[in-house]
Amino acid sequence: MRTWKKMSREAIRGRVFKALDANVDFYNHGSIGVPASHLDEKVFHRDASFLKEAPFLSALLRNPNHIGCHTLGKSESFFRGTQAIERELIALCAKDILGADPNAVDGYVSSGGTEANMQAMWIYRNYFMREHGARLDEIAVLCSEDAHYSMSKGADILGIKRIIVNVDQASRRICPKSLDRQLSEHKERGIRFCIVVVNMMTTMFGSVDEPDVYAAALEQMGMAFMMHADGAYGGFVLPFTEPGHALDFRNPLIQSVTLDAHKMVQAPYGTGIFIARKGWMAYANTKEASYVEGEDCTIVGSRSGANAIAVWMILMSYGRFGWEEKMEILLKRSSWLENRLKELEIGYFRNPVSNIITIRSEYLNRDIASRYGLVPDMHDSPKWYKVVVMDHVSIDSLIPMVDDLAAFSRKLLPSV
Binding site for ligand PLP (CB under 6 A): 112-114, 117, 148, 150, 202-203, 230, 232-233, 260, 272
Residue 43, burial from CB neighbour count under 10 angstroms (0-12, 13-18, 19+): exposed
Q: How far is the CB of 293 from ligand PLP (least distance, A)?
A: 28
H or E stretch covering 315: helix 305-343
- Please give the DSSP secondary-structure letter assigned to residue 111: S
Q: How far is the CB of 246 from ligand PLP (least distance, A)?
A: 17
Q: What are the residue ranges of helices labelled H in 162-304?
A: 176-188, 211-221, 238-241
* Whether 2 contacts 42, CB under 8 Å: no
First to last CA, the chain: 58
Q: Which is nearer to ligand PLP, 191 or 389 (CB)?
A: 389
User: What does the alpha-carbon distance between residue 302 and residue 313 come to, in Å, rounded to a whole number?
Assistant: 21
Q: How far is the CB of 113 from ligand PLP (least distance, A)?
A: 3
User: What does the alpha-carbon distance between residue 160 and residue 138 come to, in Å, rounded to a whole number?
Assistant: 8
Q: Which is nearer to ligand PLP, 102 or 234 (CB)?
A: 234
At residue 248, what is the residue type?
A: D
- Please give the DSSP secondary-structure letter assigned to residue 16: H
User: What does the alpha-carbon distance between residue 374 and residue 372 come to, in Å, rounded to a whole number?
Assistant: 6
* Whether 355 contacts 330, CB under 8 Å: yes
Q: β-pairing, 193-199 with 224-231?
A: parallel
- List the one residue out of 137, 139, 143, 115 whose CA is nearest residue 125: 139
Q: Which is nearer to ligand PLP, 23 or 114 (CB)?
A: 114
Q: How far is the CB of 200 from ligand PLP (least distance, A)?
A: 8
Q: Which is nearer to ligand PLP, 151 or 346 (CB)?
A: 151
Q: How far is the CB of 110 from ligand PLP (least distance, A)?
A: 9
Residue 320, burial from CB neighbour count under 10 angstroms (0-12, 13-18, 19+): middle
User: How does 96-134 read in b/e, with b if 16+ C-beta sit within 10 Å?
Assistant: bbbbbebeebbbbbbbbbbbbbbbbbbbbbbbbbeeeeb
Q: Which is nearer to ligand PLP, 26 or 274 (CB)?
A: 274
Chain centroid to CA 194: 21
Q: How far is the CB of 118 from ligand PLP (least distance, A)?
A: 9
Residue 33, burial from CB neighbour count under 10 angstroms (0-12, 13-18, 19+): exposed
Q: How far is the CB of 242 from ligand PLP (least distance, A)?
A: 16
Q: How far is the CB of 358 from ligand PLP (least distance, A)?
A: 13
Where on the phi/psi map is residue 126: left (φ > 0), alpha (ψ -120 to 50), or beta?
Answer: alpha
Q: Which is nearer to ligand PLP, 65 or 150 (CB)?
A: 150
Q: How far is the CB of 58 from ligand PLP (least distance, A)?
A: 25
User: What does the alpha-carbon distance between residue 363 and residue 374 come to, in Å, rounded to a whole number?
Assistant: 13
Q: How far is the CB of 197 from ligand PLP (least distance, A)?
A: 9
Q: Which is nearer to ligand PLP, 225 or 236 (CB)?
A: 236
Q: Which is nearer to ligand PLP, 86 or 230 (CB)?
A: 230
Q: Which is nearer to ligand PLP, 65 or 203 (CB)?
A: 203
Backbone angles phi, psi at 202, to 5 degrees: -85, 160
User: What does the alpha-carbon distance between residue 261 and residue 56 come to, in Å, rounded to a whole number?
Assistant: 15
Q: Which is nearer to ligand PLP, 253 or 375 (CB)?
A: 375
